[in-house]
Amino acid sequence: MALLEIRGLCKAFDHVVLDRLDLDVEAGEFLVVVGPSGIGKTTLLRCVAGLETPQAGTVRIRGTDVTDLPPYRRNVALTFESYALYPHLTVFENIASPLRARRRPAEEIRRKVQEVARLLRIEHILDHRPGEISGGQKQRTALGRTLVRDPDVFLLDEPISHLDAKIRHELREQFHHLEELRRTATLYVTHDYAEALSLGDRVGVMGPGGLAQIGSPEEVFERPRNLFVARHLGQPTINLLPAGLRRQDDRVSLELEGTGVRLPLAAPQAAALAAYRGDRVVLGVRPHHIALVESAGGDEATTLEARVELYEALGAKGVLLAELGTTRLNVLTPIDV
């Protein structure tokens, strides 16, 4: 039995946000839900936490139906994107506030706050107030206030999305080593695909109404179930090329629309389409799967002539925009191309 079980969850405001959503999170699992802003990720967390009431469906934690229970009886810990720190309290007092609300002994409070502060590397600012510390330190403090509890479920709502890149990288690294998260179930939401793929034991891609796909990071990235998932994972964006499917004897090829190009398919690719009876497909090609070659080199069947429109340097890599007939291609290249 999963530690967190969501079945048939429905929630609508002026439009349907969650439509019969099912989701399980196992004990010790770090599950990341990724999707564009406004798609319903935060609503999902709020329904689990009891801050929103679903129109239908159930939420179970450790086998107990908590759908109709108030937030304080669910034993979940929720961290918001905004810090929501008490400005008049010190970092120590902010982190300790959930324990003091539960009237825990002073020695236990001191010990747990010190442990969490050490994990998050903020021992040196425990006496400071929020107005005296940086944005990254504020986010660590908010996270510490969540971790200091002993909840059944951690709910993390884009906790590092608005921090600078260096701090995001540091906190992502720390998430991998926080034993507190491995003792329970963690449901983490973000709009950042790189964050999702680097953090999640599994990744769920949120589409209109619910989860468009859920699986391992490799599975959802390399084998997207539909065009929505393909478009929303990866940067630069995947190239989606409409094509006609051509069969001749035992050979199968794709004729790319607007290019005059025909690409022969290798036997495994042709076999994957054996049961397909249509004659139109969409070819998805990740930018890093396209290589630049000299015009005279390469396999003639899979070497295409394109015109370079734009090149953008991105540190160790670069993004090249090329035109192939009426089709535009994103290509990820080495910086010294």
Q: pLDDT at position 330, please?
A: 94
pLDDT > 90 in the chain, percent: 61
Rounded Cα gap, residues 114 and 126, in angstroms = 9
300 confidence band (pLDDT: 50, 70, 90): low
| Average pLDDT score over residue span 17-39 | 95
Q: Supply the pLDDT for residue 295.
A: 67
- The pLDDT value recorded for residue 32 is 97
- In this prediction, residue 143 carries a pLDDT of 86
Q: What's the mean pLDDT in 84-109?
A: 95
pLDDT score of 208: 92
Whether 324 has a pLDDT exceeding 90, the answer reads no
| pLDDT score recorded for residue 139 | 85
pLDDT at position 27 over 70:
yes
**DSSP letters of 47-67?**
HHHTSS--SEEEEEETTEE-T
Task: Report how far residue 203's alpha carbon sits from residue 232's, in angstroms, rounded to the nearest whole number.
Answer: 13
How does 249-287 read in b/e, with b if 16+ C-beta sit within 10 Å?
eeebbbebbebebebebeeeebeeeeeeeeeeeeebebb
pLDDT band at 292 (very low <50, low <70, confident <90, very high): confident
What pLDDT does residue 120 have?
84
| Identity of the amino acid at 77 | A
Residue 132: DSSP 8-state? G
Band (162; pLDDT cuts 50, 70, 90): confident
Q: Kindly state the average pLDDT of the residues 254-262.
A: 88
The answer to whether residue 177 scores a pLDDT higher than 80 is no
Laid out side by side, the sheet with 251-256 consists of 261-264, 251-256, 239-248, 280-285
- Mean pLDDT computed over every residue of the chain: 90
Is residue 40 predicted with pLDDT exceeding 90? yes
| pLDDT value, residue 306 | 87
User: Looking at residue 301, what is its pLDDT?
Assistant: 66
Q: For residue range 196-210, list pLDDT tens digits in order.
A: 999 999 999 999 999
Q: What is each CA distance from 284 to 239, 260, 296, in whole angstroms? A: 6, 18, 26
Average pLDDT, integer, range 262-268: 89
- CATH number of the 4-223 domain: 3.40.50.300
Portions of the chain given CATH number 3.40.50.300 = 4-223
Tokens of 201: 């034991």
pLDDT at 299: 64
Between the alpha carbon of residue 102 and those of residues 108, 141, 244, 312, the distances in Å are 12, 19, 64, 54
pLDDT over 90 (residue 296): no
pTM for the whole thing? 0.87
- DSSP reduced 3-state for 113: helix
Given a cut of 70, is residue 137 above it in pLDDT? yes
Distance CA 140, CA 151 (A): 18
| Range of weakest confidence among 47-61, 175-189, 261-275 | 175-189
- Interatomic CA distance for residues 177 and 158, integer angstroms: 18
What are 62-96's pLDDT values in tens digits?
A: 999 999 999 999 999 998 877 789 999 999 999 99
